Amino acid sequence: MLKKTKNRLLLILCSITSCALGIYIILYNLEQNITFFYPPSKITSALFNQEIRIGGIVKPNSINKLKANEIMFTITDHAQEVKIFYRGMLPALFRENQGIVAQGKLSGDLFMANELLIKHDENYMPPEVAQEFKNK
């Protein structure tokens, strides 16, 4: 009976150890691939010249179109603001008071974005799909 108990205890300890090791490996690999975004109030000088994501609300009356495909605007988290410069096609849902996440590098007091991600609500429907619903 004592030998059965020892074997069972050894089996349980090995199982727990292998599960813990597996979870550690998964979390370690995920940490390298997950990109979190920072709100404007959490931006520090330690983040300069690093590829990061910042997120916030597009401040009203801050959108300034410089050229056909260049834009400068300000995002806020109602505590702090960050000016963003973006060169490229704007997403269709980009507008004032819209939640966005911008990916790029912080350079001085200006964030140079190379990608914009726009948040939409759960009721969003692309225009083509909305038209099909109207026709049915």
Domain boundaries, the chain: 1-34, 37-118
Please report, in range form, the residues annotated as the binding site. 120, 124
**Is 0.85 topped by the overall pTM?**
no
Give, in degrees to the nearest 5, the angle at Cα 73 between 67 and 76: 170
Task: Assess if CATH 3.40.50.300 describes domain 37-118.
Answer: no
pLDDT at residue 67 is higher than 80: yes
Known binding-site residues for heme equal 120, 124
**What CA–CA distance (Å, rounded) separates 100 from 58?**
7
Distance, in Å, from the CA atom of 42 to the CA atom of 47, rounded to the nearest integer, reads: 10
Measured CA to CA, the distance from residue 5 to residue 25 in angstroms comes to 30
pLDDT, one tens digit per residue, over 80-113 is 999 999 999 888 888 888 889 999 998 888 999 9
